[in-house]
Amino acid sequence: MSEIPLPQAAKRVMPWWLLRHETMLAVILLIALIGLGSMNSRFLTLDNLLNQGRLTTEVGLIALPMTFIIITGGIDLSVGSIVGLCAILLGYSWKVFGFPLPLAIGFSLFIGGVAGFLNGIVITRVKVPPLIMTIATLALYRGLAEGISQARSVRGYPEWFYFIGQDNLFGVPAQLWLLLIAIVVTAIVLDRTTFGRTLYAIGNNETAARFSGLPVDRVKLIIYTLSGLMAGLSACVLVSRVTTTRSDMGIGYELDVIAAVVLGGTSIFGGIGTIWGTVVGLAMIQLLKNGLALTGVKGDATIVVIGTVLILSTLVASSLQRRREGV
């Protein structure tokens, strides 16, 4: 990473290319939609598409802050484990501590934020590389979830709690509204605020950003905390949808999340990326899963496809980038 020459930085934020990348993705998405639709008549129905939106919310809520993190050149592998930990604490604090459910939800969001904050504080203060820090907490948070729950599940939540995960609001799945709001807010923050532009500056050249007086550490701390918080939110939505709490919830989410972000054109090397790209990436991953499922491919085979997509899209993006830079 350190050997990337400086002059690239200026070229990297060329808007026409960003536009092109997302247009390209959108066109592929459209072709995929039509292709899958013609193969299976159940695919291209409003019901199915809305239901896919419901299913993609949990991963989507995490993919938005992950876009921020990857733009700064970082990564967060612990998100799946935070989902597990928050889900367990939601159920545990409600059932065992006897918290009223709204308080339990607040508690589980708080713990998500704390988990992310711990990642952020060690990454910024001790300078542990994000990859290693979040591998360590990937083990730690999952271990806490397993230790606290002793592999027991919690079920039997009150009826109103299932609204967010299973009901509709104005004809659209309730949790999809959450995702839509989160998308709009994060897109505006990334594109229109100093905070958002700081993320690009850090990803392009962290040292330069520091010397320009940008609050690099504070910004990083905020995005890792946000990532944990959103993972906590995702856990609540997930528990509400599947009506039970288990310590293995969220296993493998990091794959879906990172694949969606990278597929959406965010560079794994940092400095490039948009929320809209991530949204298209999310849609593609979910439709891929759904399309494969409808054509009779089993769930385990779809993660093969997602893994391949992750590697290939990184390959294509990095070779495009290299060609543009004439390396």
Partner 1 sequence: MTAVTLVSAEVSPRRRLKVLASQEALLAIAVIGLAIAVGLYNPRFLAARNLSDVLLGNAYIAVAAVGMSIVIVSGNIDISVGALIGVLATISGTLAVNGAPIVVAWLAALVAGVVVMALQGVIIAYLRIPAIVVTLGMLSILKGGLISLTGGKWITDLPDSFHLADIELFGMLPFPVFLMIAVTILAALWMRYSASGRAIYAVGGNAEAARLCGISQPRTIVMVFALHGLFAGAAALLYATQLRVIQSTVPPNLELTIITASVVGGVSILGGVGTVVGSTLAAVLIAEIASALVFIDVSPYWIRAVQGVLILVTVIADILRRRRMAGA
Residue placing its CB nearer to partner 1 in the complex, 187 or 309: 309
Burial class (CB in 10 A: 0-12, 13-18, 19+), 120: buried
Query: Given its phi and psi angles, is residue 155 left (phi above 0), alpha (psi -120 to 50 degrees) or beta?
Result: beta
CB of 121 to partner 1, least distance (A): 11
Distances (CA, A) of 175 to 121, 140, 262: 30, 29, 24
Residue placing its CB nearer to partner 1 in the complex, 168 or 308: 308
CB of 51 to partner 1, least distance (A): 23
Residue placing its CB nearer to partner 1 in the complex, 41 or 150: 150
HSE-up (13 A, CA, CB side) for residue 85:
27
CB of 60 to partner 1, least distance (A): 19
Residue placing its CB nearer to partner 1 in the complex, 4 or 55: 4
**Strand 172-173 relative to strand 244-245: parallel, antiparallel, unpaired?**
unpaired
- DSSP letter string over 244-263? EE-TTTTTTHHHHHHHHHHH
Residue placing its CB nearer to partner 1 in the complex, 166 or 302: 302
* 227/221 Cα distance (integer angstroms): 10
CB of 7 to partner 1, least distance (A): 18
Binding site for partner 1 (CB under 8 A): 1-3, 75, 77, 122, 126-129, 131-133, 135-144, 146-147, 149-151, 252, 254-255, 258, 262, 268-269, 298, 300-308, 310-311, 314-315, 318-319
* 62/83 Cα distance (integer angstroms): 10
CB of 75 to partner 1, least distance (A): 7
